[in-house]
Amino acid sequence: MAIHPTAIIDESAVIDSSTEIGPNVIIEGDTRIGKRNKIYPGAFICRGTTMGDDNQVHMGAVVGHVTQDKAYRGEKSYLHIGNNNVIREYATIHRGSLSESATTIGNGCLLMGGCHIAHDCQIGNGVIIANMVGLAGYVEVCDRAILSGGTMVHQFVKIGRLSICSGNSRVGMDVPPFTIVAERNEAWGVNVIGLKRAGLSPETIHELRKLHRTFFRSRKARSDVINELKGSPEFSSSESQELITFIEESKRGVCSRSRR
């Protein structure tokens, strides 16, 4: 194991011998770090953190620190990080707020400089969280979603799969999968470029665009529109059904069509 002599590592930390630890890194006890990770100078890995393999934690990042929830009273909680993630400079990730609760980061995520992931957030696989994004507590971000720079997300919001939030968005409602969201809870359309990159067929993308227009432009009650969409043979793909189910099950309600 390559450990710089200035690193401070608790003797109870469990770290694989293939992990590289740079100068002035601090790793507290009750931590487990897997294979081939690279911890850059000045990073701080706090207790309760479990990290898989092939991750990068860059300079000044604070990983697994105590929650900023005022109700927190020192309960034992966790941060679970998967494999192949990149955590850039000065990102902050807090562990769970309640006893035995956890914040989780999946696999293959890019968390850019200065972003903040609060307590009890659930981040899927392949997610990109850009510079200075802020996630409040209990936010769920599904696989391959993109949160552009400066996006602010209210607590308990769910961000759907393969969606994208435009830069400086303010998101307080759920973001349906495959959707572009901008400004303040405005649904601007389907994330066509992202869907093409994900390998969805032109037919599926066309179907999703038609479904999106049908739902967001309807003047009927949302429950009535959902019932019509569920029974329509036009929207039979698994992606369309995923979008319909997401809207139907949303507890906060979803973002609205832009009036611009």
Q: Any residues with CB less than 8 A from the CB of 200 and at least 6 apart, and which?
A: 208, 239
Is 82 an annotated catalytic residue?
Answer: no
How far, in Å, CA of 142 to CA of 158, rounded?
8
Sheet containing 78-81, strands listed edge to edge, beginning at the edge strand earlier in sequence: 14-15, 32-33, 49-51, 78-81, 102-105, 122-123, 140-141, 158-159
Is 96 an annotated catalytic residue?
Answer: no
Is 64 an annotated catalytic residue?
Answer: no
Find the catalytic residue in 137, 149, 160, 194: 137
Find the catalytic residue in 65, 94, 116, 119: 119
User: For residue 116, what is the DSSP state?
Assistant: E
Find the catalytic residue in 54, 120, 143, 174: 120
Q: How far is CA 33 from the centre of its chain?
A: 21
Letter string b/e over residues 79-101, b meaning 16 or more CB atoms within 10 A of that residue's CB: bbbbbbbbbbbbbbbbbbbbeeb
Q: Which residues are catalytic?
A: 119-120, 137
